[in-house]
């Protein structure tokens, strides 16, 4: 059965939120189970061309717009702004049907269109959410890069410490060898001196 608004109480001027995968689509309910919304043209595979620079305002039956997606009434900014009266919203929405308007998936999309009709403010909360998530991902990547750099610096410091330690060991070994050689020479010298002294004593006798 095609989706309708008969199970919920919708009034002309209400905003309809349609969950279409990654992004949400927005339309303005004008009564009679009809909506007005801004949609970009379709691409070669039949999907909306989100890279298009223009979009058209259309008036359609809600069931045709929703298709098999979930939808709900969502006047999301009523707590922040005073909505315009329903008659004015419907009048302005219907007067724009058939118009080609500038379009950008981030800065001038269907939610901007719907919110401007209801509140007089062309905002897009889902664009802000995408921007926030993008910023969070960027910050996470930056933290990971910094951690890798710190880890690399730590490994380099450890390697340098090991090199210094080995150098100190080698130096100590050299010094030890020199000391041992010195002692050996001293012993040899003492032995030679003692031998010469004994020879002198024998000749004297």
Catalytic residue among 63, 70, 108, 110: 110
Bridge partners, 42 (sequence order): 48
| Residue 25: active-site member | yes
Which residue is associated with the tokens 């058939």? 98
112 is catalytic: no
Q: Alpha-carbon distance 1 to 11, whole Å? A: 22
- Which of 37, 108, 112, 124 is catalytic? The answer is 37
Q: Is 124 in contact with 17 (CB distance < 8 Å)?
A: no
CB 105 within 8 A of CB 63: no
- Per the document, the length of the chain is 205
Question: Distance between CA atoms of 193 and 195, rounded to whole angstroms?
Answer: 5
Q: Examine the residue annotation and report whether 108 is marked as an active-site residue of this protein.
A: no
By annotation, the residues acting in catalysis are 25, 37, 110
């Amino acid at each position: 059965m095609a989706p309708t608004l008969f199970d919920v109480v919708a009034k002309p001027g209400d905003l309809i939120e349609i969950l279409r995968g990654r992004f949400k689509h927005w339309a303005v309910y004008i009564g009679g189970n009809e909506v007005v919304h801004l949609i970009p043209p379709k691409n070669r595979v039949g999907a909306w061309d989100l890279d298009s620079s223009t979009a058209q305002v259309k008036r359609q039956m809600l069931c045709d717009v929703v298709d098999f997606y979930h939808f709900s009434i969502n006047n999301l900014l009523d707590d922040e702004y005073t909505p315009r009266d329903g008659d004015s919203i419907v009048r302005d929405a219907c007067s724009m049907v058939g118009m080609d308007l500038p379009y950008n998936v981030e800065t001038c999309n269907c939610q901007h269109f719907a919110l401007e009709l209801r509140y007089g403010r062309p905002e897009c909360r889902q664009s802000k959410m995408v921007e926030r998530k993008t910023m969070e991902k960027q910050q996470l990547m930056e933290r990971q890069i910094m951690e890798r750099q710190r880890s690399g610096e730590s490994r380099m410091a450890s390697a340098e410490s090991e090199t210094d330690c080995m150098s100190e060991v080698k130096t100590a070994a050299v010094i030890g060898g020199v000391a041992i050689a010195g002692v050996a020479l001293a012993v040899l010298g003492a032995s030679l001196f003692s031998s010469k002294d004994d020879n002198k004593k024998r000749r004297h006798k």
